[in-house]
Amino acid sequence: MAILPIRRAGDPVLREKAKRVRTIDSSIHKLIDDMWETMYDAPGVGLAAPQIGISLRVIVIDVPEHEPVALVNPEIVKRSGERDLDEGCLSVPGYRGHITRSVKVVAKGIDPYTGKEVRIKAQDDLMAEALEHEIDHVNGILYIDYLPGPDALVPVGDAPELKRLQER
Ligand code: NI
């Protein structure tokens, strides 16, 4: 396993629509191991493969009150409701932003350890937010894209210049 550098907003790999994984082989398991290690080291509660420079549809999430989940080729199947959230991202260090996300989220994907399709239902919790956030990443979307205006992004700590983060 390896802790890999996390790509930051402005890096083109974060803006690509990541490729579907065709075969879950040892290289995918190694990728996921590296993603877990990188995420826990950061520390964060979710990570998508493009954030370590790999343009593949793979995500990992570990939030309280849920088992850790790794998903290959994840998709949102259903979403409903709206709620306001204060969100952050390891690729946008130094900022938090107020955005709107869904209340209920159903996602599906392949469990890389069993090879079987799994569905994850989440409602009004961090898992629902993380599923939308990480699946956005594999579609080249960052949460800052949803900001209603410049005041919605709040610097925390040592924040880099805002303009660079908004390039796409
Ligand atoms: Ni993120």
Instruction: Kindly give the distance from the C-alpha atom of residue 92 to the centroid of ligand 1, in angstroms, as a whole number.
Output: 7
Instruction: Kindly give the distance from the C-alpha atom of residue 125 to the centroid of ligand 1, in angstroms, as a whole number.
Output: 16
Give me 76's structure tokens: 């949102």
Instruction: Kindly give the distance from the C-alpha atom of residue 130 to the centroid of ligand 1, in angstroms, as a whole number.
Output: 8
**Predicted pLDDT of residue 157:** 73
pLDDT band at 149 (very low <50, low <70, confident <90, very high): confident
Least confident of 38-47, 89-98, 150-159: 150-159
- Asked whether residue 156 carries a pLDDT value surpassing 70, the answer given is yes
Cα–Cα dist 114/54, whole Å: 22
**Predicted pLDDT of residue 164:** 60
- Asked whether residue 161 carries a pLDDT value surpassing 90, the answer given is no
Neighbours of ion ligand 1 (CB under 5 A): 89
Instruction: Kindly give the distance from the C-alpha atom of residue 23 to the centroid of ligand 1, in angstroms, as a whole number.
Output: 25
Q: What is the mean pLDDT of the chain?
A: 94
**Predicted pLDDT of residue 162:** 59
pLDDT band at 163 (very low <50, low <70, confident <90, very high): low
**The CATH fold of domain 12-162:** Peptide Deformylase (3.90.45)
Global pTM? 0.93
Least confident of 79-83, 94-98, 132-136: 94-98
Instruction: Kindly give the distance from the C-alpha atom of residue 87 to the centroid of ligand 1, in angstroms, as a whole number.
Output: 9
Instruction: Kindly give the distance from the C-alpha atom of residue 33 to the centroid of ligand 1, in angstroms, as a whole number.
Output: 18
Cα–Cα dist 147/90, whole Å: 17
Query: Which whole-number Å values give the CA distances from 97 to 42, 72, 92, 144, in the listed order?
Result: 19, 27, 10, 7
- Asked whether residue 139 carries a pLDDT value surpassing 80, the answer given is yes
Which amino acids are annotated catalytic?
134
* Residue 139 CB burial class (10 angstroms; 0-12, 13-18, ≥19): middle
- Residue identified by tokens 């995918």 is 28
